[in-house]
Amino acid sequence: MKLVRKDIEKDNAGQVTLVPEEPEDMWHTYNLVQVGDSLRASTIRKVQTESSTGSVGSNRVRTTLTLCVEAIDFDSQACQLRVKGTNIQENEYVKMGAYHTIELEPNRQFTLAKKQWDSVVLERIEQACDPAWSADVAAVVMQEGLAHICLVTPSMTLTRAKVEVNIPRKRKGNCSQHDRALERFYEQVVQAIQRHINFDVVKCVLVASPGFVREQFCDYMFQQAVKTDNKVLLENRSKFLQVHASSGHKYSLKEALCDPTVASRLSDTKAAGEVKALDDFYKMLQHEPDRAFYGLKQVEKANEAMAVDTLLISDELFRHQDVATRSRYVRLVDSVKENAGTVRIFSSLHVSGEQLSQLTGVAAILRFPVPELSDQEDDSSSEED
């Protein structure tokens, strides 16, 4: 993301002009734009024209509109963002108050104005414009007959390809059908890796599977690379890292990212940091439940006692339509930081973020046990029962 201009007043009102440069930046933009903001960008509008003879025709013109945002739609697979709203600035082609939809896309500049820029949104702009946050990881999660090729970016897990091949069982004295199907499956996975993984950007490719599937696949892939003189695969052989996973489904990626070998290799990526924080929370919940809370009210009470060491919160909560609710989450984040706590904002499109959302989207690891809050929670749950 490129920051062109930033004009924010002392009362935190103002505007920023940004240029998304990669598909990843569209996810950041989705988290920046909120209902009620004003968005200015170039767009194409269908305009009706009437000739001197009275005949009516229509043609498409490019114009710059400023909309008051009413609806936002994000397509995570295509990385496209559509913003719908009403025109709030005079325009020769569009009447004031008329509805229009602007499609934001990479390399197209836009200006976003807010009445109140909060700390979470400003921090996201800093992260989006910092190249260090774009360290990417690719992953191949597989089992016999099923593979998912994913890109693990700092903000989301994108499934780029799914390979499914029916593998017949081995029969006594005849394994040829099984072996041929397995070879066909491996070949399709190799093709998907070459099609969807950009080795100029990706610093590590995790190959995760149960049993010996990953070893057999890697042996096959590099044998074929030598035979066909595939320089791309051979030159990037050191980037492939084999780890255990319980299955070939996407959710098993979390296990692979939790592996200590992987964690040390990816120590500078946000994805690994999120997974480690969630893993630490689960361990604390199991061994010292008085130091692991989830749910907004409980975490707020723990924060009042200045007990929060690490706050885990989903970015989905900052997209809440209600301004008061959104401000409540922002205040919690700011307060934890003021009390020298660590804040981890999880992406709702990331594997770990999906799991955090199942825990209400807010969780905390505490510095010290706060048993009285746990007792309150138990009392309230028994009253509900």
Instruction: Tell me which range, 178-182, 280-284, 349-353, 380-384, is most confidently predicted by mean pLDDT.
Output: 280-284
Q: How would residue 384 be classed by pLDDT, with cut points 50, 70 and 90?
A: very low
pLDDT at 157: 80
Least reliable range by pLDDT among 233-247, 265-279, 294-308, 351-365: 265-279
More confident residue, 380 or 84: 84
For the segment 170-192, what is each residue's pLDDT rounded down to a tens digit?
766 677 888 899 999 999 999 99
- CA-CA distance, 86 to 68, in Å (whole number)? 5
Architecture field, domain 1-127: Roll (2.30)
> Is 3.30.420.60 the CATH classification of the domain at 134-267?
yes
More confident residue, 213 or 124: 213
Choosing among 3.40.50.261, 3.20.20.10, 3.90.580.10, 3.30.1330.30, the CATH entry for 269-371 is: 3.30.1330.30
Same fold, 1-127 and 269-371: no
DSSP string of 68-105, one letter each residue: EEEEEEEETTTTEEEEEEEE-S--SSS-TT-EEEEEE-
For the segment 84-126, what is each residue's pLDDT rounded down to a tens digit?
999 999 888 889 999 999 999 888 999 999 999 999 999 889 8
Q: How far is CA 261 from CA 72, 149, 206, 267, 363, in A?
A: 40, 20, 11, 10, 26
| pLDDT at residue 382 is higher than 50 | no
pLDDT at 225: 95
Domain boundaries of the chain, sorted by first residue: 1-127, 134-267, 269-371
Average pLDDT over residues 23-37: 89
User: What percent of the chain clears pLDDT 70, i.e. is strictly above it?
Assistant: 90
Going by the DSSP 8-state scheme, the letter that residue 131 receives in this structure is G
